[in-house]
Structures are given as C-alpha cells and as structure tokens.
Structure 1
Amino acid sequence: MSGLPPSPTPYMILGEAAPLGARPSTPFAQPSMPPLEAFRPYLEQIWSSGRLTGCGPFHEQLETALEHYLGVENLALTANGTIGLLLALNAFDLDGEVITTPFSFVSTVHALRWSRLKPVFVDIDPLTGNLDPSAIEAAISPRTRAILPVHCFGHPCDTTAINEVADIYGLKVIYDAAHAFGVSVSGRSILSHGDASVLSFHAAMPFTCGEGGAVVCADPRVKRRIGRLRNFGLVGTTTVAAAGINGQMSEMHAALGLLQLAQFDHAIVRREQIAGRYRAALADIRGVRLFGVGPQWRSNHGFFPIAINDEHQAGRNQLYERLMDQGIEARRYGFPLASETPVYRDLPSARAELPHARSLAKQILCLPLYPCLPDATVERIIALISEG
C-alpha cells in the first residue's frame, strides 16, 4: 500500500465525462429521495425475509404498481435500462440491421452492438430531436429487422408514422423510452406504442430506483420470455430454455421504487414550476430556441433542453463553459453523436451526412432541472444565459 488516495474517476453527465475533481455545487441532476425513516421499514422486511433478489415481494409489488400508474400492461422490471434494451432486442430474436438515431446516449447503440445487430443511423427531425419517419423508410434494406427510436427528452416520437412504416415492411419497433416515464399523449401512455418500450430508472431520471429499468411489452408472451431471459434463461430450477443473463432488479431497488412512486406526482409539480420559469424567462433571448410542448402531451419535465444557435453572442460551448465555471453542471446532450464516436464512426451509415443530427448536437444544452433545485439557482442560470 502506498498510502496515496485513489485517483479521481470522472463521473458521467449522462453522456459526457465531467472534469476530474469535486462535483459541481449545482449538479445537472439530483434525485428526489424519500425520508430515510420511510425506507427503514422496507429494509427491515428485507432483512427479516433474507431475500435480496429473485423477483421477491417488493419486485412484484412494484411491477403491479407501475402498470397501474402508467396505464400499461405486461411490464417487466430489469436491473437497468441498458439491460432492458438488451432483453427486448433478444426477446424478438433479431438479426441483421436495426434503424436508429445517432442523437442519443450511446447505450442505445451499445445495446444493438452487444446483441450482434448492425446499427443503421438515420437523420432526425430538427424540431424534436426524434427520428424522422421519412428518413427511416429511405434506409430500409432487405437486412432491416427493426426500428429503435428514442423519445428524446421525453418528447413523443411520431409513433403513428413510425408504426405505419413498420407495418408496411414487417419490422419490429422497440422504443428507447428512457426519458419518457409518465409521458402520455391524448390520455394514452406513450409506452403503449410499438412492440416494446424500455424505461430507465437511473438516478438522473425523473423516476428512479437508484438503478433499474423496465420493458413494457405489447404481447404478454414477450413479457414471459423477458422474465426467463432476465433470470439466466431458466424455466423452473433446472431447465435452461434460453441463453439469458442476470437482469433482475433487487428487492432494495424495488422498495425504493415503491417509495419514489408515492411521491412522483408531487415531484412533477415542482419540475413543471421550474420548467415554466425557464420557458418564460428564455423565450425571447436572442439565439435561444426552446422546444415545443404539444397541447395534448402530459410531460414529465425530466429535461429542459435549449438550442443555442449562431445568433447567441456566447455560443453553445462558451455558454457551457461559463455555467461550469460557476459550478453549474449543464449537459451537451448527444455530443458527440453516437455515429461520430470511435466505436461506430466506421459504419457506412455513420459516414452519411445526417445534417440535422450534426447541427443539433452542436447546439443543444440541457439545463439543471430537479425538484430540490432552489429558485435562486434557477434565476442565476437564467441570468448567465441572458448575458449573451
């Protein structure tokens, strides 16, 4: 032992490594935590039962509670959102190519690579950041098996147009809905579209179990298959029916999820207040574009993205540095594009122009937004952006 402290490790801002050292005074995301005393009875039950995992009672309670709250059926909990994507892709026994977006956190594309599927990147709608349905159809080949769109920032994809394309060509649609917990359009959960939707319960998401995720399946048979796959492929105790993985949520994470769900609506009210203040104050700032919210949407206000264009005196990167210098952790979402990372940039589709995705990746900045964010800090962030 040298006696030296361990080297600092970069923490992640949901997509880019932050500078080494202490966490900023205003982090990009901070989970709402229930009172510790409220968690204690759950822990006592877990200690008493001795059951830490294996789809125990809290796991079953949370699956049922989430189905009821979200208005969906066939929800299967997973260890995290990335495992959820892997399970969903493997549950459909896909091979070949999957059309997806370059404008997402890299876990979306990593799930394809780990599943031995070839990502095919297509361009996005510049107003929403979501996949452009017309670009999807143009990229379909005889090897295409599925579409993997992302509800970016929790803004709903054009599910009608995407599903129409999928129906014509006989493709599966698996939505990366990591940002879309509780989002609905015209009273219908956005998770009810496509063949499956995958949620993330990472600590930076509006609803969190600390870590965890879920797959919402259109077909109950797919949920049963995911249930086997997340438990090593076992049926019973001795029969191995598939090459599965350990993808189960622990009892402690499920217990925390039950407590988080009880306070979720209250947290959303505060998130909406902060988002409303940002929207009102930044709407007329030159060079700042806000993202629209549809009149029939129920948003979870999980993210507040702004696009900084050339008319802003500072520009996106300078504004990012200004905020970070003041201890305020913003995020350049989708930067760099997944298609521009060393892992994927040699793919033929990564060498396509993708003009809207490339442009938005250079403009986007997500601002801190979470229930315990003080009003004074919100005003300080607004002032720093307004300086030009």
Structure 2
Amino acid sequence: MINVTKPFLPPREEFNRYLDGIWNRGWLTNNGPLVNELELKLKEYFDVPHLFFVGNGTIAIQIAIRALRLTGKIITTPFSYVATTSSIVWEGCSPVFVDIHPQTLNLDPALIEAAITPQTSAILATHVFGNPCDVEKIQAIAQRHNLRVIYDGAHAFGTNINGRSVFHHGDISTLSFHATKLFHTTEGGAIITQDAALAKEIAHIRNFGHDGPEKFHGLGTNGKNSEFHAAMGLCNLPHVTAILAKRKELSLRYNAMLKPLQCIRPVLQPLTEYNHAYYPIIFKEEKDLLKAVEALHHVYVYPRRYFYPSLETLNYVEQGQEMKISSAISQRILCLPLYYDLSVEEVVMICRALLRAQNY
C-alpha cells in the first residue's frame, strides 16, 4: 500500500538518547529544555528572531489571531486546509473569501482590495503546497488599508524567496509540524514573528496568559508542547537537507514521466527555492481525476484530493459568492504520493498507472 504521505522517522537510537534525558530529568512539559533547544535551532534555521513551539498548526493560527487582537472580517483563501477557515470562526471573526490565482493557487492579490470594508482587520493567506504567496503585493495592500497579515505556512518549511525563508514576511507566520509534513514533531506547530512586542504577547497567550506563577497578563490558552515532541523535532531537523533533496528527486521523476499526461502543475512564484512539499496535478475534468484515482487504487496507491471541497462551501461560514476558480480547481486537483521513503521504482509504477488510465 502506498499512501499519499508517510512520516519520516529518524534512527530509533537517536530518539532514545533524548528519551534517556527526559527520564533522568523528569521534566515532561511546561517549556522544558528540549523545547527551548528546538526553538533556538529553528530560529537559527529560519534566521528569525522570535519563534514559539506550540501544540499544532491550528492553535498557532488561533493564537496569531488573538495576539493581533483581530476583530470583524478577515480576508482569506477558499483553497486551503479547513483549519485556516475554522480558526478564524473559532476566534469570533468572519472569513471573507477571495478567489485564488488559477496558476499559483494562492490568494489572488488582484481581487483583495475589492473585498476590503471598514470591518476588515487582516489578511490570512496560505502558502499553498509550499508555493509562496505574492508577499510583496499583499504587503502593499495591507499597508494601504492598515491591515495585519498572517501567513499560514503549514506547507512552507524549507521554502525560500530571494534566498530567505518565506517566514520573514507578514506580521505572523504559522507552521504545522504534523506527522504528514516534511519536517514534523509527531504533533506540533510554531508561530514566527519579527515583532518583539507581538512575541511577548504570543508568549503569554501560549501559556494560559501567565505572567509569573501567580500573575496573569490576560486571556490565554494552553498552546504549549511537550519534551517528547521536541525530541522528535530535534532528531528530524538534522535530516531536513536529505529530506528536501529526496523530495526534489522524486518530483523531477514525476515531471519527466508525466509529460504526456494532459494535466497542469501549479506555477511557482518567481525567485522561489521550492521545498517540494507536495506533488499536485490538475486534470482537465473531474471525470479524468476520478478515473485516475480508480486506476491507482487498483495498484494499491492512495492519492488525495487536496484541497477538496472549496472552503466557501463549509456549513458554518456565511454563504456568499461562489469562488469559481477555487471550486473548479478543487474538483480537479490530486496530490500524488511524495515522501522520503518512497522509491524511484514506486514513482515509476504510479506514473505508468496514471498514463494507462489516460490511454497514453
């Protein structure tokens, strides 16, 4: 069986060394030494001043919204994982969907300003499949209208723009370290900001609002993560270069073999060093996608319709204008298996099954 993804696991002896330390210290959570070490190493990796390791990528977005004190309406993308939208609603704000660019699949900057009203407080955009948003245009719009910017960077670990991490952009970037991601801590996430005042606010919110053992800064939540999860991250981080290289190798093999297939691929932003987080293909029609899925299932390969459905169709958001591009793409896009342990031979088999299904 070949699933769309499979977690990378480091050599067990590397993880066991960290477990020995946890057992010796008896310090399991509450900002322990391994959490601190992971935060420091990730700040160095991304070259950012402030990074907080949290429980998951969803709580990261929720804390970002809370730290920025956002209210009213937040402009966002309909083409993302459901957590991007649900976090906005969870925090008492209203998502306002703006359609995506048909080539990059990211929030289309050309459509944002028409959706801004006096109630708009922020833009929450996703770097879809690790492909950076048009950060310069979004920042210019935000400055003109005095809006804050959050980037959902759940897929963007290892993606650079102009030689720097994509996480240097926006007021806050959020990350997911879920087991399905190319870098993971089993469960986990992070929040990155360049702003020292915001960092102080995030630190309080992440830890119930504590400002000392018996004093509270304000309303907070439990956004912390454990020493066990930090240990997995510390084991996986030294392998990131190899993970990125392998994913690139497999993606290039897909590219070469699937040239005859009448599918299109997302277009990367200029000056992007891509992380190959996913391998999505977009079929001409949904029936072609369904035919491909059936053919792959016959050889025990399980791709994913990702993202599907378009988020403006969720039953807990205000039903408004249809997002025509997002809706059309979501019906025709399929992510093929891509992970470190996937072999070149398995990629060849997957490609052959797809080509047979489309009569090539």
TM-score under structure 1 normalisation? 0.90
Task: Look up the SS of the partner of 2:75 in the other structure.
Answer: strand
Aligned residue in 2 for 1:318: 291
Listed one character per residue, the Cα deviations across residues 293-335 of structure 1 (whole Å, up to 9, x for unaligned) are 456321111101110113x9x6112212322343211111121
Q: 1:298 aligns with which of 267, 273, 290?
A: 273
Q: Is the 8 A contact 2:132 2:269 kept in 1?
A: no
Q: 1:157 aligns with which of 98, 110, 133?
A: 133
Listed one character per residue, the Cα deviations across residues 54-99 of structure 1 (whole Å, up to 9, x for unaligned) are 1111111111100111122211111100010011110011110000
Cα–Cα, structure 1 residues 185 and 228, in superposed 2: closer, same or farther, change >3 Å? same
Task: Look up the SS of the partner of 2:304 in the other structure.
Answer: coil
Q: 1:327 aligns with which of 300, 303, 307?
A: 300
Is 1:224–2:197 an aligned residue pair?
Answer: no
- How far, CA to CA, are the matches of 1:100 and 1:216 in structure 2? 19
Aligned residue in 1 for 2:355: 386
Q: Is the 8 A contact 2:54 2:190 kept in 1?
A: yes
**Tell me, which stretches of 5 or more residues in structure 1 are unaligned?**
1-24
Aligned residue in 2 for 1:87: 63
- How far, CA to CA, are the matches of 1:45 and 1:192 in structure 2? 33
Is 1:341–2:314 an aligned residue pair?
Answer: yes
Listed one character per residue, the Cα deviations across residues 247-282 of structure 1 (whole Å, up to 9, x for unaligned) are 111111011101100111011111110000001111
Alpha carbon RMSD of aligned pairs, Å? 1.3
Q: 1:371 aligns with which of 324, 340, 352?
A: 340
- How far, CA to CA, are the matches of 1:329 and 1:71 in structure 2? 37
After TM superposition, the structure 1 = structure 2 runs for residues 1-388 of structure 1, keeping only pairs within 5 Å, are: 25-285=1-261, 287-294=262-269, 296-310=271-285, 315-344=288-317, 347=318, 350-387=319-356, 388=358
- How far, CA to CA, are the matches of 1:103 and 1:293 in structure 2? 16
Tell me by how many angstroms 1:364 deviates. Answer: 0.7
Task: Look up the SS of the partner of 1:234 in the other structure.
Answer: coil
- How far, CA to CA, are the matches of 1:324 and 1:343 in structure 2? 33
Tell me by how many angstroms 1:283 deviates. Answer: 2.3
Aligned residues: 357
Listed one character per residue, the Cα deviations across residues 338-365 of structure 1 (whole Å, up to 9, x for unaligned) are 1112222xx1xx4313211111111110
Aligned residue in 2 for 1:20: none
Tell me by how many angstroms 1:106 deviates. Answer: 0.4
Aligned residue in 2 for 1:14: none
Q: Is the 8 A contact 1:184 1:299 kept in 2?
A: yes
Q: Is the 8 A contact 2:312 2:323 kept in 1?
A: no
User: Percent identity, aligned pairs only?
Assistant: 39
The residue type equivalent to 1:356 in the other structure is I
- How far, CA to CA, are the matches of 2:154 and 2:340 in structure 1? 19
TM-score under structure 2 normalisation? 0.97
- How far, CA to CA, are the matches of 2:19 and 2:325 in structure 1? 48
The worse-fitting range, judged by mean Cα deviation, of 143-152 and 219-228 is: 219-228
The residue type equivalent to 2:273 in the other structure is R
